[in-house]
Amino acid sequence: MTMNKSKSTGKLLSLCFTAILATAGSLSAYAADANNANFNTVKAKLARGEQVVGGTVSSSDLNIYCAMAGAGFDFLWIEMQHSPLTYQEVATMIRACPGPALPFIRVPDATEGDIQKAVDIGALGVIVPMVDTMEKIENAITFAKYPPIGKRSQGGGQYGTLWGRNYRQLANDNIMIVAMIENPAGAEIVDQIAALDQVDVVFVASSDLGSFTGLRQGDAAYEALVTRIKDATLNAGKYVAGPSAWKDTREGYTFFQGPPESALIRSGARLSLEGSAEEGLPRGVAPIEGTEGL
């Protein structure tokens, strides 16, 4: 009995050690990439005039997060405004799978605590909700950026493990700020928001604009509001963002929020039930067990 217990314990320790080594290898690979001056691949892709799409994650399940990180998205929109996710959970998620899709966090608010926790755990994008005052977006910049640009304190965190030993020197050029315009008050000052040097992307929040105005997409007044936000953003030389439903249907948009993991699971289940072929396999050929997530 004791021998069997000892063998089981040894096997468990061995599996844990193997998992730790695998994670360390993954992290070291991303840290090595981060030694490049511009390791934010989303920012680089946008600079080349390409589009980027991020999948939305609200679950703390590591299997779901890692599946999303490797599914082909450019970044993951980690939803902390409208979910019960904690920073401890998100830190674990990012550390488990720091890529290929880069971690962007929609913070609950532009407070010093929220912003600094987000970047300390490794976010390369800070998505700021409900930007309808200059103070809010200026606070986000202040706490996301190190001096001389902002007032982000040195602190601790896993950012160095993820993005390299020279992170402190490179962070300001790699962390992106995304300002969400969700109501008419934000649209009124969008010219000033987009003109801020450290704002990279302005997001047209389609649903909330409808909620705050009582208008629907297609209504002339709604579309005028959307056009105002888009034009101000592009005139300032920044990237304009919207929901993935607008991808390739509206001109000027290059940054998109994709569907949440729950919607993707539903759509994947429907395709499976309809008998669609497995990815990479001819129709009628079953995948080898254990390779479905590879």
Give 52-76 pLDDT, tens digit per residue.
Answer: 999 999 999 999 999 999 999 999 9
Q: What is the pLDDT of residue 166?
A: 93
Q: For tokens 């989303």, what's the residue?
A: 42
Q: What is the C-alpha separation between 228 and 293, in angstroms, rounded? A: 43
- CB proximity list for 265: less than 8 A, separation 6 or greater: none
Q: What is the pLDDT of residue 262?
A: 81
Catalytic residue selected from 11, 82, 165, 168: 82
Name the 3-class secondary structure at 114: helix
End-to-end CA distance of the chain: 38
Residue 58, both tokens: 């609200």
Q: Which CATH number fits the domain 41-273, given the four candidates 1.10.645.10, 3.30.465.10, 3.20.20.60, 1.10.150.120?
A: 3.20.20.60
Q: What is the C-alpha separation between 31 and 105, in angstroms, rounded? A: 20
Q: What is the pLDDT of residue 279?
A: 63
CA distances from 292 to 78, 102, 278 (A): 24, 22, 9
The stretches in the chain having pLDDT less than 50 are 1-25, 28, 32
- CB proximity list for 194: less than 8 A, separation 6 or greater: 179, 202, 232, 233, 235, 236, 238
- Report the mean per-residue pLDDT for the chain: 86
Contact by Cβ (8 Å): 161, 170: no
Residue 179, both tokens: 């300002």
What is the amino acid identity at position 171?
A
Name the 3-class secondary structure at 39: coil
Q: What is the pLDDT of residue 194?
A: 98
292 noted as active-site residue: no
Side-chain half-sphere of 254: how many Cα atoms within 13 Å?
Answer: 21
What is the amino acid identity at position 128?
V
SS3 content of the chain, % helix, strand, coil (to 5): 50, 15, 35
Q: What is the pLDDT of residue 268?
A: 75
